[in-house]
Amino acid sequence: MLGLGTWENEDPDQCAESVRTALEMGYRHIDTAQAYGNEDAVGEGIAAADVDREDIFLATKVWISNLDYEDVLETTQASLDKLGTDYLDLLYVHWPSRAYEPESTLAAFDELYDEGTVKNIGVSNFEPRHLDEAREHLDAPIFANQVETHPMLQQTELREYADEHDIEIVAYSPLARGDVFEVDVLGEIAEKYGVSEAQVSLAWLRENDVTAIPKATSEAHIRDNWESLSLELEEQDLERIADLDRTRRKVDPGFAPW
Ligand code: NAP
């Protein structure tokens, strides 16, 4: 339910250290991507941690320029080499953009799934229409859709779609890239429980069956987020969060499909 994000954790030694710290604290899900330029460092952190590979849920993503059939196969092999593993627990299509062609891209994902290199197939930044189309082309099930989700972008429609089709929602930017610290309602709730706004956001996501992957660099942030697992928000606080303005999107590149 709670993983470690690594986007912009770019200094290799720091990134490896964050991954090792998180794993030794109890995290078991690590999220990276070809585009983050840190798969080597993530692999080093995993190797350095006193945790077995098979106890870790490792996810990476194929970048939008690598989504031709052959490129998916070749660059996934390169990701495996960098990560120092011979399988991935989850491989995502990073965005339905640029070289993404449902038929050929997803045929390569199916092949990796069939040969056991990839245990689960995921998509990211997919809207309902992309999910419909992908489900038509894929033989394997879609395990997860990774999308920006936090109290100010609640993704109600995508969560309903996911429920209906048995797809996990993985929340990226679950702290709204720091904006959770600026919202009064979250501040008031945090004060009530004596926790951080980060914990409030993560506990709200968990209550809604959403897996969160906050990016944190320091041990203090990694631990603060981990402690959200013991925070139980009361119904009235969940309702206050549900009533927040829901349109604050933080990740919106020009190639986004919306
Ligand atoms: P985020 O997790 O919402 O926020 C990260 C920011 O919050 C960092 O500045 C971090 O600082 C800070 N932070 C973390 N924990 C904190 C705490 N307890 N108290 C105070 N500050 C805290 O943003 P994100 O990195 O955009 O999203 C998380 C992960 O989702 C990414 O790292 C990546 O793995 C994934 N992602 C995927 C996509 C996609 O297209 N699929 C897009 C965006 C992100 P420090 O680093 O200093 O700890």
- For the chain, strand residue ranges (E) read 4-5, 29-31, 57-62, 90-93, 121-124, 142-148, 168-172, 211-212
Distance in Å, CA 200 to ligand 1 centroid: 15
- From the CA of 181, give the closest atom in ligand 1: 20
Q: What residues line ligand 1, using a CB cutoff of 6 Å?
A: 5-7, 31, 94, 124-125, 146, 172-178, 196, 198, 213-218, 221, 224-225, 251
Note the pTM of the prediction, 2 decimals: 0.98
The CB-side HSE value for 118 (13 A sphere, CA atoms) comes to 28
Q: DSSP 3-state assignment of 8? A: coil
Pocket test for ligand 1, best of 34, 61, 172 (most atoms within 8 A of CB): 172
Pocket test for ligand 1, best of 170, 175, 179, 199 (most atoms within 8 A of CB): 175
Q: What is the H or E stretch that residue 94 is in? A: none
What's the CA gap between 176 and 248, in Å, rounded? 8
Angle at 252 between CA 10 and CA 166, to 5 degrees: 90
- From the CA of 220, give the closest atom in ligand 1: 18
The tens digit of pLDDT for each residue in 165-185 reads 999 999 999 999 999 999 999
Distance in Å, CA 107 to ligand 1 centroid: 31
Q: Where are the domains of the chain?
A: 4-242
Residue minimizing CA distance to atom 13 of ligand 1: 216
Specify whether the backbone of 84 is left (phi greater than 0), alpha (psi in -120 to 50) or beta.
Answer: left
Say which residues have a Cβ less than 8 Å from residue 247's Cβ, sequence separation at least 6. 152, 153
pLDDT for residue 198:
98
Residue minimizing CA distance to atom 20 of ligand 1: 221
Distance in Å, CA 136 to ligand 1 centroid: 33
What's the CA gap between 14 and 187, in Å, rounded? 30
pLDDT for residue 35:
98
The tens digit of pLDDT for each residue in 182-220 reads 999 999 999 999 999 999 999 999 999 999 999 999 999
As annotated, the active-site residues are: 36
- 57 forms beta bridges with 29
Q: 29 with 59: CB under 8 angstroms? A: yes
Burial class (CB in 10 A: 0-12, 13-18, 19+), 253: exposed
Q: 250 with 215: CB under 8 angstroms? A: no
- pLDDT confidence tier of residue 245, bands split at 50, 70 and 90: confident
pLDDT for residue 98:
97
Distances (CA, A) of 47 to 18, 40, 50, 88, 121: 13, 11, 8, 15, 24
Locate tokens 């106890």: which residue?
55
Distance in Å, CA 8 to ligand 1 centroid: 8
What's the CA gap between 43 and 176, in Å, rounded? 26
Q: 66 with 34: CB under 8 angstroms? A: yes
- pLDDT confidence tier of residue 246, bands split at 50, 70 and 90: confident
- 4-242: which CATH topology? TIM Barrel (3.20.20)
